[in-house]
Amino acid sequence: MIRSIVNFICRSSGREADVSEETLKTRLDPSRMPRHVAIIMDGNGRWALRRGMPRAYGHRAGVESLRDIVRVSSEIGLKVLTVYAFSTENWKRPREEIDVLMNLLVEYLHKEIDELCRNNVKVRAIGKIEELPAHARRAVAIAHERTESCTGLIFNIALNYGGRMELVEAVRAISAKVARNELSPDDIGQEAISNHLYTAGQPDPDLLIRPSGDYRVSNFLLWQLAYTEFWLTDVMWPDFRRIHLLQALVDFQRRQRRFGGLN
């Protein structure tokens, strides 16, 4: 039953498939744009295997999708874009695949940093960055430094990220403040927890996009997704382009968000 409902959602989300990019842009209401869009970049490996290619081929193709989505997100004035690039569970993958992913991260940041700066995009990495390989940490640090003064799109790259670990880290930080008498237990509420997450100071995602046909959040932004709208599609991430993001945004603007109340 649940799968049938989700399949209906996926089909409904694709009803703009035959509409052009320019037409979709004209249908967007600037006053109702989501402030924060989160994307689980899924399906690279399966996309490659279906073509008889190694998984690395799919990961490299997925970088092209990322490049396109960051560009259009900046063009249309999104405030925050968060992409799930590497989870805390991804360390279970073969060493060769992990090396490919880390090298692609470094290559992407090296090649794109000048354009990101020109487009006023602020790059931020969220997760346990200190556990990444040295060359990946250096690339992230350079991207942070180069885009520090940018005031446009905030581009969060979730690296070595896990939603449960994020909450554990927040609890530890809050507990330490309580132990130092810097914070009273009575002051611990939702705002205090949000302020100790990797996304502190940013709005929660209004829209989560998951390509590839899977129906789970995969330990991504567990606290922040409490009232997020989901947009699901069978399109694999390497085939996901700006037209799909625009379809998702148009569909998002049709929805009524009640946050547990009534309109």
Candidates 111, 113, 101, 11; CA nearest to 58 is 101
For position 18, what pLDDT does the model report?
73
Structure confidence by residue, pLDDT tens digits, 24-69: 999 999 999 999 999 999 999 999 999 999 999 999 999 999 999 9
Is 68 tagged catalytic? no
Set 18, 29, 44, 90: catalytic member: 90
Set 7, 18, 29, 42: catalytic member: 42
Q: Report whether pLDDT(9) > 90.
A: no
Fold for domain 33-162+205-254?
Answer: Undecaprenyl pyrophosphate synthetase (3.40.1180)
For position 127, what pLDDT does the model report?
98
Structure confidence by residue, pLDDT tens digits, 159-171: 999 999 999 999 9
For position 128, what pLDDT does the model report?
98
Is 90 tagged catalytic? yes
Structure confidence by residue, pLDDT tens digits, 89-121: 999 999 999 999 999 999 999 999 999 999 999
